[in-house]
Amino acid sequence: MTTTAGRTAATQPSTLGLPHDHPAFPHDHLAPAVHEHGITPPRYGDDVWPLHLLHHAGTARSLNIAWNDFPAPFRETMRMACWHMLNLPATMTGDGRLGTVDNPSPATAHLTVGHWRAFIRWLHANHPNVSDLSHVIRSHFEAWATLGETAATSEPGRRNRLVALSRLWAYSQALPPRHRLAEPPWTRRRMRPYLGEVPARSDNSTEPIPTATMGPLLTAAMFYVDRHLARATSSPALKQADRMALSGAGLVVIAYLTGMRPHEVMALRRGCSTIVEDPDGTRRYEVHGEVSKGVRDETGRHITAGIPREQPWVTIEPAYRAIQALERLAEEAGQDVLFGHLRSGRTGTRIGNIITVDGGNERISAFIQHANEHSAINGYPPIPDGPDDKPTLSRFRRTLAWHIVRQPGGEIALGVQYGHMRIVTGQGYAGRSEAGMLDVIDLEEVALALDTIDAIAERLSAGEVISGPAADTVKARVERVRHEFAGVKRTDRELARLRGLSHLQVFDVPHTLVVCAFQPSTAACLDSEEAAERRRTPAADRCVTGCANAARTNGHIAALRQRVHEAEADRDVSPAPLARRLDRQIQAWRDAITTHEQAAAAVTQRQPTTGQGPVGARNDS
């Protein structure tokens, strides 16, 4: 049976030259499933263009463009501009000045046309005398950019609105003169002045999931996976709700412990995981799959089906076990994919046998609800699932990176620490031009450095003293960062720009209670080979007291005093060998306290007898 996707025949040919029955898309760009399912491709004059028919991966959500949503005076102009975007080679549009004018993916094209629609509707409602794109002038662009400050709260959201109009300008140049958009002012100048004031961290749609949520969620998900694996293969098939919960649990474990992107996880198939045993007996758990981000063919067109990733992702055993559980579930359902549809009889125009990312998020929510129902029965606390806590696939990579950077000693499961996860995930990206997860970790390191410097700056401004070999270096770096980056918004774009700056190399090392002004050549924690490699972070687990890179503030000294008090109590009840070791440690801490007090006294002596003293002058240690 032949079906039609979004078909409403136009009653007359296009006013811009293409007949209504002309193909909306090149047939060789359509997904194979279009022909397999007998779907008639859309024609140029159809009221709806289903862009998801161009997506080959089978994970795309419905991406419909409804042309009747555009005001009538602009409808045919926008239809033709969109046709150019989808059909013409990138070299035939624009002049190369826009890095984003290319052959966009179906999802990007759908988002772009959505911004076009919003602009045209705003223009038609607020400037009814404008009936052609050629009548749009600079003041219209500037008003639209200003409107974006309230319409989109994040920098990427505002940037996408403006980039969409830049695309429209580029593609409209192939239209007759009265349908051509003037060049937006931000294509020749920096876009930043047109983005407005952006809240410091509002840009991150991928804010880390709070630890209070992620910990219980991961623990419950792994428990649910293991319980399913322990179930005999001859056991009755799971009920629909249990299958949904297991799929959500496995999705949590795999997505979080591999660092894979959402679409990469959703596309996994049976047989994707292997165990590799190294010569030393160490086991590596590898995951094989496909990547599509940034993948284009020789013409520059996005390969939506993705290509096999040459180097597998490397993970730990819980993720491997989750894949095993989902493979069993897929086998019972007669499916080849791990995240296929669990219900039959689906309706709608979407093609593909894999659930969307939104569908994956629904399964995670179903698992949380399922787990919380059982927790309530057994008297356990629930997994938090509020608006700020809500776990979604897009947040797992950032959450893993956050924990790797800020809690390297924190335990994930089975004695595996986040510090180990950094090594494991890095093996899956070694030697790749697309650093992926390592890029996300780098951004979190920059964010942590800025947070550390902010905290030290507040201590010094409050009058705390800083002492130690690197005290002057720490103060110099703090002042430089405060001077250079005052008011800078911590967007991912900005964090990437700051990556690698030496004066951001300031680290707080909690277990030794020091601030490290890291410099590889003088770092006592590094061996000569590590120093020669110009490592960017200290080996905090090998922090050496008295290192040339170390310094302490009043806050560190107060914590040292507490440690002395606790160690003295332990010494009094410890065997002689341990007591002697504690005595040596206590004396080293007391020496550090004395050194700091002497530095504080020297600062106090230099302090003026009246008025406000210099930063770092107060000694309340």
pLDDT in tens, 30-77: 877 777 677 888 999 999 999 888 877 666 678 899 999 999 999 999
The predicted pLDDT at position 436 comes to 67
Per-residue pLDDT tens over the stretch 419-466? 667 767 666 554 444 456 778 888 888 888 899 999 999 999 888 999
Looking at the chain, how many residues does it have?
A: 621
pLDDT tens column, 257-304: 988 889 899 989 999 999 998 888 788 899 998 877 766 666 666 666
Checking if the pLDDT of 245 tops 50, the result is yes
Considering the domain 211-427, what is its CATH architecture? Answer: Orthogonal Bundle (1.10)
Is the whole model's pTM more than 0.85, yes or no?
no
Give the span between the Cα atoms of 608 and 214, in whole angstroms: 51
What confidence score (pLDDT) does residue 616 get? 40
Per residue in 355-398, pLDDT (tens digit) is 888 899 999 999 999 999 988 898 888 998 766 778 999 999 88
The Cα 384–Cα 393 span in angstroms is 16
How far is 360 from 340, CA to CA, in rounded Å?
10
Average pLDDT over residues 113-136: 94
- Coil, strand or helix at 176: coil
Using the predicted structure, report yes or no on whether residue 613 has a pLDDT greater than 70: no
Identity of the amino acid at 149:
E
DSSP 618: -
64-65-68 Cα angle (round to 5): 130
Q: Look over the chain and give the mean of its residue pLDDT values, rounded to a whole number.
A: 81
pLDDT greater at residue 528 or residue 304? 528
Reported confidence tier of residue 587, pLDDT bands at 50, 70, 90: very high
Alpha helix (H) residue ranges in 104-203 = 106-126, 138-151, 155-172
Q: Residue 605 pLDDT > 60, yes or no? A: yes
Q: Which carries the bigger pLDDT value, residue 2 or residue 591?
A: 591
The listed range with the strongest mean pLDDT (140-149, 153-162, 606-615) is: 140-149
The least confident of 167-181, 324-338, 378-392, 500-514 is 378-392
CA dihedral 127, 133, 136, 138 (to 10 degrees): 150
What pLDDT shows up at residue 431?
Answer: 40
Least confident of 306-310, 385-389, 580-584: 385-389
Averaged over 513-529, what is the pLDDT?
88
**Domain(s) of CATH 1.10.443: residues in the chain:** 211-427
The share of the chain scoring above pLDDT 70, in percent, equals: 78
Decide if 389 contacts 380 (C-beta within 8 A).
Answer: no
CA distance 591 to 585: 10
Q: Please tell me the predicted confidence (pLDDT) of residue 294.
A: 65
Residue 122, pLDDT score? 95
Give the Cα separation of 455 and 145 in Å (integer): 35
pLDDT at 211 over 80: yes
Average pLDDT over residues 92-114: 68
